[in-house]
């Protein structure tokens, strides 16, 4: 059944409510209004406020945005072609998909992310000093490790040590189950290990960097193997 379409032309001023308006009326109370704003943006309103806005030169350099009634973005496409996704009432996006296919989690996102690094032989030998892997996430936020893996690539000379204890740490607190299995680094052939989420070994962890630390005795300097380490994690935001 057809509905009424009502058009109000531009009255030649920039006063509020005088922009050109097209109204699509529903069967009952409600409907959708389209308004061309003074800045050239096209805005669609539903019964509770803005449901869509097409903009040019918008904050975050968006070309297209779907917003809530307060003007915060749910979904947008930037001037570079990146896709921005967020939740209403949050000032920063939850997710950004780059034009190269990269995925970046926003400040309030709880999606699982992956960090990967290949440690050189020299870096393995120096792990008695913690090596930072993931920077501190910010005030009132915690890096929540959900799992990980380690792949040893043997390169001729194995590492040796009398005591081996490789741990992930938030600040100076160990993540008790998230550790690389003893014997992997000193293995005389290629090897692999994986680990699950662990409990905190102390009360800290808020706004702390994630590091890898050898709590045992340094490896011998003659080892030449490398280790590829992967960490799966989420940023838990308590703000």
Q: Read off the tokens for 144.
A: 């929540």
Tell me the β-bridge partners of 44: 34, 52
pLDDT digits (tens, 9 = 90+) for 21-30: 777 776 666 6
| Phi-psi domain of 87 (left: phi exceeds 0; alpha: psi -120 through 50; beta: other) | beta
pLDDT digits (tens, 9 = 90+) for 132-176: 999 998 888 888 888 889 998 988 888 887 677 788 888 888 876
Q: Where are the domains of the chain?
A: 5-105, 113-237
pLDDT at 116: 93
pLDDT at 151: 93
pLDDT at 131: 92
pLDDT tens, per residue, the chain with 239 residues: 445 555 565 555 555 555 667 777 766 666 777 877 776 677 777 777 777 776 655 555 666 666 665 666 667 776 676 666 655 434 555 566 666 766 666 655 566 788 899 999 889 888 888 999 999 988 888 888 888 899 989 888 888 876 777 888 888 888 766 567 778 888 888 989 888 776 665 567 789 999 998 887 777 767 888 999 999 888 887 77
Of 105, 128, 46, the residue nearest 232 (C-alpha): 105
CA atoms within 13 A on the CB side of 126: 8
Residues 204, 171: contact at Cβ < 8 Å? yes
pTM tops 0.75: no
Please state, as a whole number, how many other Cβ atoms lie within 10 Å of the Cβ of residue 202. Answer: 13
Architecture, CATH, for domain 113-237? Sandwich (2.60)
pLDDT at 209: 93
CA 228 – CA 48 distance, rounded (Å): 52
Range 103-137 burial, b when 16+ CB lie within 10 A, else e: eebbbbbeeebeeeeebebeebbbbeebeebbebb
């Amino acid at each position: 059944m057809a509905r009424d379409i009502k058009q109000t032309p531009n009255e030649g001023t920039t006063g509020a409510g005088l922009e050109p308006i097209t109204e699509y009326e529903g069967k009952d109370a409600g409907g959708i209004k389209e308004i061309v704003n003074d800045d050239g943006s096209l805005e669609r309103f539903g019964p509770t406020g803005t449901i869509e806005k097409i903009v040019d030169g918008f904050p975050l350099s968006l070309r297209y945005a779907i917003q809530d009634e307060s003007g915060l973005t749910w979904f947008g496409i930037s001037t570079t072609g990146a896709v921005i996704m967020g939740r209403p009432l949050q000032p920063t996006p939850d997710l950004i998909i780059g034009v190269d296919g990269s995925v970046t989690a926003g400040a309030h996102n709880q999606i699982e992310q992956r960090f990967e690094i290949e440690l050189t032989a020299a870096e393995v030998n120096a792990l008695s000093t913690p090596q930072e892997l993931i920077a501190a996430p910010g005030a009132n936020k915690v890096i929540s490790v959900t799992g990980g893996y380690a792949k040893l690539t043997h390169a001729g000379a194995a590492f040796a040590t009398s005591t081996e204890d490789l741990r992930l740490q938030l600040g100076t607190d160990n993540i008790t189950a998230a550790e690389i299995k003893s014997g992997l680094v000193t293995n005389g052939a290629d090897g692999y290990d994986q680990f699950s989420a662990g409990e905190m070994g102390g009360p800290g962890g808020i706004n702390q960097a994630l590091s890898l630390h050898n709590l045992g005795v340094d490896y011998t300097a003659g080892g030449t193997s490398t280790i590829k380490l992967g960490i799966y994690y989420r940023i838990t935001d308590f703000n």
